[in-house]
Amino acid sequence: METWNVVITVHEGCYSLVRQFLKPLGAVRKTDFFNVLVMTVDDIQQALDTLKAMIDEKPGVRGAIARFVPAAQTFFFTSAEEFEEKAQEVALSWTRELEGKKFHVRMKRRGFKKRISSLEEETFLDKVLIEALEKRGASGTISFTDPDAVIAIETVGQRAGITLFTKEELARYPFLHVD
């Protein structure tokens, strides 16, 4: 299974343009999914900052990129149960960062149709995180309006990537577009 740590979706008719535009950031690869690219970058923060600068120089390209979502952690899974177990483990590692915050989980699934439901997984992980916070004696609130953080999960086939983005990061990098 090919590895990646960034998932990019592009607007219709912009596939080649975006693929060429992103080459300075790393190896951009096709997937089996329509208008979905993946890539591997060495340094996520540097890639985000570089892409922001590139888009600032050529703002017209921003309209071609629907989403550019790097993954802090990635994993391979072979079943819905394995996906849920691994996603839960990663999400729980951010419990401390979510204390006292408004947040939610957002998942974009490609593949595993009828075996994994994005909405069910989002709801499950939201609940797991709230329970974990309560166990710590901390609070947290699921909020889709002006959240302090969003946990973004991207799947491409049997590989998943997951990242926690803060409100500040989402504002600084509008091309993340995780919601």
Residues 6+ apart with CB under 8 A from 48: 70, 169, 173
Single-letter code of the amino acid located at 108: K
**Phi, psi (rounded to 5 degrees) for 136:** -80, -5
* Domain 73-176 part of CATH 3.30.70.240: no
- Do 147 and 103 meet the contact criterion of CB atoms below 8 Å apart? yes
Mean pLDDT of 92-113: 96
- pLDDT, residue 59, reads 84
pTM above 0.85, yes or no: yes
Mean pLDDT of 138-143: 96
- Do 39 and 22 meet the contact criterion of CB atoms below 8 Å apart? yes
pLDDT tens-digit readout, 5-48: 999 999 999 999 999 999 999 889 999 999 999 999 999 999 99
Instruction: Give the confidence band of 114 by pLDDT, cuts at 50, 70, 90.
Output: confident
Instruction: Give the confidence band of 106 by pLDDT, cuts at 50, 70, 90.
Output: very high
- 56, with CB counted inside 10 A (0-12, 13-18, 19+), is exposed
Q: How many residues does the chain have?
A: 179
Distance CA 22, CA 47 (A): 10
Q: Which two tokens mark 149?
A: 């953080």
**Cα distances (Å, whole numbers) of residue 18 to 38, 59, 109, 158:** 11, 13, 21, 24
pLDDT tens-digit readout, 53-92: 999 998 888 899 999 999 999 999 999 999 999 999 999 9
DSSP state of 135: H
- pLDDT, residue 136, reads 93
Indicate whether 132 pLDDT > 70: yes
Domain parsing of the chain, residue ranges: 6-70, 73-176
